């Protein structure tokens, strides 16, 4: 499987594990130049994929925070409306 295709099919945890494996192989003095180049390409693809996954997660968190803040504001407005009726 090409490095970029493999990177896109992994979740964040799997990508992190694979990056650790790549670092270990690259640091092995028995790893040849050609393999190192292939590993570097795969590693870069994994980093890009992981950055995208992190950005998506951050966006989801921001949306959840906004939804929570909106719900809190709505709840506060309802409470104020109830008290004004009394």
56: Cα within 13 Å, side-chain hemisphere: 8
Domain total of the chain = 1
Number of Cβ within 10 Å of residue 30's Cβ equals: 6
Quick check: pTM over 0.75?
no
Q: How far is CA 28 from CA 24, 31, 44, in A?
A: 6, 6, 19
24-77: pLDDT as tens digits: 999 999 999 999 999 999 999 999 999 999 999 999 999 999 988 888 777 777
Query: Are the C-beta atoms of 41 and 3 separated by less than 8 Å?
Result: yes
The boundaries of the domain holding residue 35 are: 3-85
CATH of the domain at 12: 1.10.287
86/84 Cα distance (integer angstroms): 5
């Amino acid at each position: 499987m090409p490095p970029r295709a493999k990177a896109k099919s992994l979740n964040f945890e799997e990508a992190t594990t694979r990056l650790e494996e790549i670092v270990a192989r690259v640091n092995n003095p028995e790893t040849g130049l050609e393999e190192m180049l292939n590993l570097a390409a795969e590693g870069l693809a994994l980093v890009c994929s992981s950055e995208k996954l992190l950005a998506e997660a951050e966006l989801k968190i921001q949306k959840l925070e906004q939804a929570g803040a909106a719900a809190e504001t709505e709840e506060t407005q309802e409470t104020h409306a109830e008290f004004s009726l009394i």
